[in-house]
């Protein structure tokens, strides 16, 4: 009989294989917490039974082709649920979070709030910009479905008021502490576009704010947003091998180049508290040796790695690509945690941020060998988390107007080559 997987191993296998949901399962108000595309699956929380963290949040693929033949099937309901692995009849209890009631509320422009932003784990994700420029030039990343979703499954345009009202609802009713603003490639103007949103959220709502956009060459724009109070930048380098990068991310390869991602990471990491910058990479497309090398480069740049297990999302150019293999993905996630431990990365320190689209670095603590340094690192992380509480509480206070920032340089000062 196959051994029972721990919560992180189950998370990895579910990301790889997806899950079937029987039409007999009554999800009640729990369904549709999610967003189209990468987050189109079912949000679940897996209890760990460990002192390391109580639950692991994840978005299980359910719509993709591989999920239709998965050995995992959701059973139970309407109150308690479990995932059954039909290969060995192991049963894993899970929790399915409720659909937030604010999803059905309208902004003052009559836009349903679920078309403005959705929860992805315990934080709010909003795509603020117009459709990524790469989609207009047929240079979009081949795993991406943003160009199909923006304007259909979510509002094409979100005003600052739409975003503020949605942030308020999510903060008051779902208790979020963090909003993640993303927006793809905007011809070098993404940070500029994001600035008024960030300013308004910081001044009027008071949340930790993360920004994920294609890297820009005018680095002073990052400094400006840091002055405005941005708490987190993430950079999606996606793939390390140059050929895979060019093939899967043609827009990024031709327009930006891989090195810009690492330079931007280094720039921001040198100016922000440790643990405030991340580099995102996808595992399951290129050989895992490349992925692990990518993790090491991200950590060497002063950022922490977030590793997304490749999902052959319906509607993407890669929807028929093979799904990743569990053993390989387990190796990658163990390497991710190991890199964080060796470099004393401050992972899992910010309050109430569980990301459902990736294996969080602190989820992967469940995979690590129990060495003396493992316990040292875990105790250190807990001490840092306690010490950082007042700072994070202060950064979640609304800062009534006006946050003043330095004016932009006259002639592009601070640009990189
Ligand atoms: S940069 Fe790539 S992944 Fe991001 S929105 Fe554009 S096409 Fe999609």
- CA of 141 from ligand 1 middle (Å) equals 5
Residue 282 β-bridge partners? 308
CA of 142 to the centre of ligand 1 (A): 9
Q: Is the CB of 39 under 6 A from ligand 1?
A: no
How far is Cα 265 from Cα 248, in angstroms, rounded to an integer? 21
Residue recorded with tokens 């931007």 = 264
Q: Tell me the pTM.
A: 0.92
Q: Are 10 and 92 in contact (CB under 8 A)?
A: yes
Per-residue confidence (pLDDT) for residue 78, from 0 to 100: 82
Q: What is the pLDDT of residue 348?
A: 92
| Contacts for 377 with CB less than 8 Å, ≥ 6 apart | 341, 344
| Ligand 1 atom 4, closest CA | 184
As given in the structure block, the two tokens for residue 314 are 């319906």
Task: Copy the structure tokens of residue 317.
Answer: 């150019």
Number of alpha helices (DSSP H) and beta strands (DSSP E) in the chain = 13, 13
| Per-residue pLDDT reduced to its tens digit, 171-185 | 999 999 999 999 999
Give the residue from 338, 328, 347 showing the smallest Cα distance to 290: 328
Q: Is 291 in the pocket of ligand 1 (CB under 6 A)?
A: no
214, 235, 250, best to mutate for ligand 1 pocket (most atoms within 8 Å of CB): 214
Band the pLDDT of 411: cuts 50, 70, 90: very low
Question: Mind listing the pLDDT tens digit for each residue in 320-370?
Answer: 999 999 999 999 999 999 999 999 999 999 999 999 999 999 999 999 999
Instruction: List, in order, residues 6 or more apart from 297 with CB less than 8 Å away.
Output: 240, 262, 279
Q: Whose CA is nearest to atom 8 of ligand 1?
A: 144
CA of 307 from ligand 1 middle (Å) equals 16
Q: What is the pLDDT of residues 289-318, one digit of tens each?
A: 999 999 999 999 999 999 999 999 988 999
Whether 214 is in the pocket of ligand 1, judged by its Cβ within 6 Å, is yes
pLDDT, tens digit, for every residue of 191-227? 999 999 999 999 999 999 999 999 999 999 999 999 9
Cβ–ligand 1 distance for 184 under 6 Å, the answer: yes
54-108 tens-digit pLDDT? 999 999 999 899 999 999 999 998 889 999 999 999 999 999 999 999 999 999 9
* 161/194 Cα distance (integer angstroms): 14
143 close to ligand 1 (CB < 6 Angstrom): no
Which tokens sit at 349? 């320190």
- How far apart CA 340 and CA 75 sit, in angstroms, is 36
Name the band, by pLDDT with cuts 50, 70 and 90, for residue 414: very low
């Amino acid at each position: 009989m196959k051994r029972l997987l721990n919560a992180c191993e189950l998370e990895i296998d579910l990301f790889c294989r997806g899950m079937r949901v029987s039409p007999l399962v009554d999800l009640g108000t729990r369904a549709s917490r999610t967003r189209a595309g990468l987050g189109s699956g079912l949000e679940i929380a897996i209890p760990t039974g460990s002192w390391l963290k109580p639950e692991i949040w994840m978005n299980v693929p359910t719509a993709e082709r591989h999920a239709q033949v998965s050995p995992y099937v959701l059973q139970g309901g309407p109150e308690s649920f479990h995932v059954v692995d039909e290969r060995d009849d192991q049963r894993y209890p899970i929790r399915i979070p409720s659909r937030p009631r604010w999803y059905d509320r309208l902004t003052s422009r009559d836009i349903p709030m679920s078309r403005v932003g959705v929860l992805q784990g315990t934080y709010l994700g909003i795509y603020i910009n117009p459709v990524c420029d790469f989609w207009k030039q047929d240079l979009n990343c081949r795993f991406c479905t943003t160009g199909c979703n923006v304007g259909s499954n979510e509002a094409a345009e979100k005003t600052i008021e739409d975003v503020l009202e949605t942030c308020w609802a999510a903060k008051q009713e779902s208790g979020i502490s963090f909003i993640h603003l993303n927006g793809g490639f905007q011809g070098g103007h993404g940070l500029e576009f994001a600035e008024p949103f960030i300013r308004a959220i910081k001044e009027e709502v008071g949340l930790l704010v993360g920004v994920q956009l294609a890297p820009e060459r005018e680095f002073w724009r990052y400094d400006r947003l840091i002055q405005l109070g941005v708490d987190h930048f993430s950079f999606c380098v996606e793939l390390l091998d140059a050929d895979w990068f060019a093939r899967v991310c043609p827009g990024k390869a031709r327009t930006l180049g891989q090195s810009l991602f690492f330079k931007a990471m280094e720039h921001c990491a040198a100016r922000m508290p440790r643990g405030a910058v991340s580099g995102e990479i996808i595992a399951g497309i290129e050989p895992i040796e490349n992925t692990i090398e990518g993790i090491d480069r991200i950590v060497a740049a002063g950022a922490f790695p977030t590793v997304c297990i490749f999902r052959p999302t319906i509607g993407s150019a890669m929807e028929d690509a093979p799904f990743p293999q569990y053993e390989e993905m387990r190796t990658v996630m163990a390497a991710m945690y190991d890199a964080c431990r060796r470099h004393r990365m401050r992972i899992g320190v910010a309050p109430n941020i569980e990301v459902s689209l990736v294996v969080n670095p602190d989820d992967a603590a469940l995979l690590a060998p129990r060495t003396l340094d493992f316990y040292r690192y875990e105790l250190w992380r807990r001490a840092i988390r306690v010490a950082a509480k007042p700072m994070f509480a202060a950064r979640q206070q609304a800062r009534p107007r006006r946050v003043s920032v330095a004016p932009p340089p006259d002639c592009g000062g601070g640009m990189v080559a």
